[in-house]
C-alpha cells in the first residue's frame, strides 16, 4: 500500500497510513451504539481483510463494547509483531465519567491487555481528556 513504514519509539512498525478503528466491531454501548451490532465472525472477517490489505494499525478501547475481546480472538491467530496495536484508557463506557487517576488507568490497562490476549500495546492513549 505504502512504501514507507513508521515507528513510535520501540513499537512495532506501522506499515499502513490508514488505521482500522475498531469501534464498530464491538457494537458500542447503549449510550453510544457505534454503527450497530455485527456478528463476531463478521467482525473478525473485517479485521482479517484489513490485515490482508496491509492495514496493520488497529485502534480500540474498553469503551467500544466487546471490541477488545473480538480483536483479542483475532490476534491469537496472528503474529503479534505484525500488528501495531493501540488502545485507550480513561473511559470504560461512554455512560460513565472519565477517570484518569493512575490507579484506574493501571486497572484498565491490565484488563485491556487481558481482553486483547497480549502483554503489550504499541500505543496507549487517553480517551477524550478535557
List residues with catalytic annotation.
64
Q: How far apart are CA 16 and CA 5, in angstroms?
A: 7
Sequence-separated (6 or more) residues with CB below 8 Å from residue 120: 113
Q: In angstroms, rounded to a whole number, what is the distance separating the alpha carbons of residues 76 and 32?
A: 28
Residues 6+ apart with CB under 8 A from 107: none
Give just the sign of the alpha carbon dihedral 124, 98, 110, 49: negative
Amino acid at each position: 500500500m505504502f512504501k514507507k513504514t513508521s515507528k513510535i519509539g520501540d513499537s512495532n512498525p506501522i506499515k499502513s497510513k490508514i488505521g482500522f478503528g475498531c469501534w464498530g466491531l464491538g457494537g458500542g454501548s447503549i449510550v453510544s451504539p457505534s454503527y450497530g451490532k455485527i456478528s463476531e465472525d463478521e467482525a473478525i472477517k473485517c479485521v482479517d481483510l484489513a490485515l490482508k490489505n496491509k492495514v496493520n494499525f488497529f485502534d480500540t478501547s474498553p469503551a467500544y463494547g466487546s471490541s477488545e475481546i473480538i480483536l483479542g480472538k483475532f490476534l491469537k491467530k496472528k503474529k503479534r509483531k505484525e500488528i501495531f496495536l493501540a488502545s485507550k484508557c480513561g473511559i470504560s463506557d461512554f455512560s460513565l465519567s472519565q477517570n484518569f487517576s493512575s490507579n484506574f488507568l493501571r486497572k484498565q490497562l491490565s484488563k485491556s491487555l487481558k481482553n486483547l490476549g497480549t502483554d503489550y500495546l504499541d500505543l496507549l492513549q487517553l480517551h477524550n481528556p478535557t
